[in-house]
Amino acid sequence: MSTEIVSSEKEIQNTDPRIKLIAAKMKKENYKADALIEILHTAQNAYGYLPMNILKFITKELKLPPSRVYSTVSFYHFFSLKSKGEHTCLVCTGTACYVKGALGLLDEIEHKFSLKPGQVSADNKLGVQVARCIGACGLAPAVVLDDEVHGKLTNEMITDSINAKIK
């Protein structure tokens, strides 16, 4: 995998404001390896995921071995190496949501949108993921649609809420 990062052909455009954001973050953190996770957060917020050429850029700037960056990225659930879709539906499967029907919501999503957790629709409009617990247990079952928490959902409500987002 490390060779893939190093030999990534796609050069990054320095004019891209997102690159500037990442560069500024690295500068702020004094290019310390300590801040790698913080920098990856910034990059993922900017792109929605972590493209290989961006990882290569970070690797070079922080003077780290590619294996160090890749092993960190692959360890944490938050970081994704592929696009999560324009809109994301994050279904909480924490204990409270599980007890109150989170799996039913996932079945419904699979039935209506033909997407399983981890999949993105062919048009890149919608991505479905699961979360361990979003801490909104009082509102179980809950999902996070883009950045909004929707609670006490029924199967019907989830379809309507997703449709409202992607249309």
Partner 1 sequence: MNRNDLKVISEKAKEKHKKYKHKICVCCGAGCISSGSEGVLLKLQKEIVERGLQNEVEVIPTGCMGPCNQGPLVKYLPENTIYQKVDCENISQIVQSQIVEKKPIEDLLLFSDFHPKPFINAHDDPFFKKQLKIALKDCGDINPEEVEDYLAYDGYLALGKVLFQMSPEDVIAEIKHSRLRGRGGAGFPTGLKWETVYKYVSEEKYVICNGDEGDPGAFMDRSVLEGNPHRVIEGMAIAGYAVGANKGFAYIRGEYPLAIKRFEQAIKQAKKNGLLGNKILGSEFSFDIEVRIGAGAFVCGEETALIASIEGKRGTPKPRPPFPAESGLRGKPTLINNVETFASIVPILNNGGEWYSEIGTPKSAGTKVFALAGKINYSGLIEVPMGTSLREIVFELGGGIQGGGEFKAAQTGGPSGGCIPAKHLDVKMDYESLMSLGSIMGSGGLIVMDEKSDMVDVARYFMEFCMDESCGKCVPCRVGTKMMHDLLQKIYDGKGTSIDLERLEELAIYVKETSLCGLGASAPNPLQSTLRHFREEYESKIEQDID
Contacting positions for partner 1 (CB under 8 A): 32-38, 40-41, 68, 71-72, 75-79, 93-96, 98-100, 131-140, 142, 147-152
In angstroms, rounded to a whole number, what is the distance separating the alpha carbons of residues 41 and 132?
19
Vertex 59: Cα angle to 56 and 63 (nearest 5): 145
Q: 7 or 162, CB closer to partner 1?
A: 162
Q: 10 or 116, CB closer to partner 1?
A: 116
What strand order describes the sheet that includes 148-150?
Answer: 126-131, 87-92, 143-145, 148-150
Residue position matching structure tokens 């850029």 = 57
Smallest separation, CB 123 to partner 1 (Å): 27
Q: 150 or 165, CB closer to partner 1?
A: 150
SS3 70: helix
Smallest separation, CB 71 to partner 1 (Å): 6
Q: Which DSSP letter does residue 77 get?
A: T
Smallest separation, CB 99 to partner 1 (Å): 5
Q: Is 27 exposed, middle or buried (0-12, 13-18, 19+ CB in 10 A)?
A: exposed
Smallest separation, CB 87 to partner 1 (Å): 17
Smallest separation, CB 41 to partner 1 (Å): 6
Residue position matching structure tokens 């109150």 = 100
Q: 40 or 89, CB closer to partner 1?
A: 40
Q: 63 or 77, CB closer to partner 1?
A: 77
